[in-house]
Amino acid sequence: MELFLVMFWVVLAGAVCYYTTGWVKSQRLRKKLCMQGITGPPPSFLYGNVPEMKQIQSKANRTWATHDYASTLFPYLDHWRKQYGQIYTYSTGLRQHLYVSDLEILKELNQLNTLQLGKDSYMTKALQPMLGNGIIRSNGQIWAHQRKIIAPQFFMDKVKGMVGLMVESTLPLLKKWEAIIDANGGLVTEINVDGDLRSISADVIARACFGSSYVKGKQIFSKLRTIQTSITKQGFLFGLNSSRFLPNNKKVVTLEREVELLIWETVKQRQQECLDKSLGEKDLMQLILESAVNDESTGPDKGSSQKFIVDNCKNIYFAGHETTAITASWCLMLLALHPEWQSRIQEEVAQVCTNGLPDADSISRLKTVTIVIQETMRLYPAAAFVTREALEETRIGNILVPKGVCIWTLIPTLHRDPDIWGPDANEFKPDRFIDGVSKACKSPQGYIPFGLGTRLCLGKNFAMVQLKVLLALIVSKFTFSLSPSYRHSPVFRMLVEPEHGVHVQIQRI
């Protein structure tokens, strides 16, 4: 009994010492920011501003009068921005944050080429089961090494070579919807598009990576989706649970191992297929794997090459699959509300695409499709935040950011700022992009759906081309409007997606 009491008091003393030391460090960082004129909500002991965040969140009004959902999903950030301005500081537990939506600072951040800024550690720790140490969550030299290998595989000349694959993956969807309409006597038919769009996006990724169909990859996608849901349920944005909920979550750990095993088995199977058939054309994962094995900094170490390919495969699956499918759903929702833009896309596809099918030459001439996608990503960017952690003390413009401070930018708030976009910032007006991003808003730093700076999304070209193919084919074959059963409710699940799906009433043209 005495031994138990001694152990209890030792553990308690250690915990108190840890949190007290962490609290002191956090307050020291806050003081350094305050000395530069940066203020913010006063933190409570140990918990920082989390109690206030939860209180503000509980009072948020979940009504959707406009497309502006940021003030509902992240009301505390919006509340503090109105109170403290475009730059302020706040804390979650022992972590100190710097919120930035000032265009000049974002411009400096965009132009800063340094490894001293990386992905924030507590968020990326939470995402480790989904992303491993792949390019999305790695930092420093590891990230730079991965980028050197992966980036060339997503240059536009490579992506244009995948247009045919994207068309092949989309055509079965058109036939499926036609069959559903025919089974309904050719009448207007209700469809929830989310699942189908996710399947198409997954099929494209699976084919591009392994030359395999969605049937082979569906287990991987399903398990990654389950992990994503498990992480999101923990409310990791508040920053208190990231150190405890994932390592001890047996279900997540088991799923993580199963995903990694499935990916590596698929890689090996694809390699053997190519050897047996002596195929000249190599898929994305083969090219990345060969680059990793041959790269001097990776060397011939089979274990490191395997981890490299598995982790980055998880990254490509998640980033290329989920974000594209979600953006496509939001696109169809907005087009359902604005049938005049459906007509404009139909006219363009008829003029530009031979037999109505996009190809590598016509994809760049789909201007109307492009501006619709750009406007969709302005109003409904899949990623809600750009986050960076100062891995070393770093100067950004006139701000000296202390080591350990996390920098946050809320993308949807930036994309709807009337000072940047004008009084119609909350309206769907694709024509604002007709002369490019620089003419659409006050500053190009005000439009960052793919992030900014050196860590701009590598799959930007891939996502845009796939979205063009999807929209061009769907809108040229069908007309649609929102179903009365559609419930507009954006929700944050690592990405911002329609909580109840997008239900449309669809018919053949």
pLDDT in tens, 16-74: 565 666 778 888 999 999 999 999 999 998 889 999 999 998 887 766 656 778 888 89
| Inside any domain, residue 112 | yes
C-alpha angle 94/97/101, rounded to 5°? 165
Tell me the average pLDDT of the chain: 85
pLDDT at 275: 67
* 102, amino acid identity: D
Residue (of 292, 227, 214) closest to 258 by Cα position: 227
- CATH code for the domain of 56: 3.30.43.20
* Geometric angle at alpha carbon 372, from 368 and 376, rounded to 5°: 170
Within a domain: 148: no
**314 Cβ contact partners less than 8 Å away, ≥ 6 residues apart:** 130, 131, 132, 134, 224, 259, 260, 263
Within-domain flag for 162: no
Q: pLDDT band at residue 75, thresholds of 50, 70 and 90?
A: very high
More confident residue, 281 or 477: 477
> Around Cβ 472, how many Cβ atoms within 10 Å?
26
194-210 and 302-337 helices cross at what angle (nearest 10)? 150
Max Cα distance, the chain (Å):
85
- State how far the Cα of 411 lies from the Cα of 446, in Å rounded to an integer: 9
pLDDT over 70 for what percent of the chain? 83
The answer to the question of residue 29 being in a domain is yes
| Length of the chain counted residue by residue | 509
At residue 64, the pLDDT reads 63
Question: Which position has the higher pLDDT, 1 or 92?
Answer: 92
3-state SS class at 353? coil
- Judge whether 46 lies within some domain: yes
pLDDT digits (tens, 9 = 90+) for 444-475: 999 999 998 888 898 999 999 999 999 999 99
Domain of residue 106: give its range: 1-131+386-427
Cα gap 102→496, rounded to integer Å: 23
The total number of structural domains in the chain stands at: 1
Q: Could you identify the residue written with the tokens 């469809």?
A: 191
Distance CA 148, CA 171 (A): 34
Judge whether 432 lies within some domain.
no
Higher pLDDT, 164 or 62: 164
Q: Does residue 98 form part of some domain?
A: yes
Q: Is the pLDDT of residue 2 over 70?
A: no
Q: What is the mean pLDDT of residues 86-114?
A: 92
100 beta partners: 87
Is 406 within a domain? Answer: yes
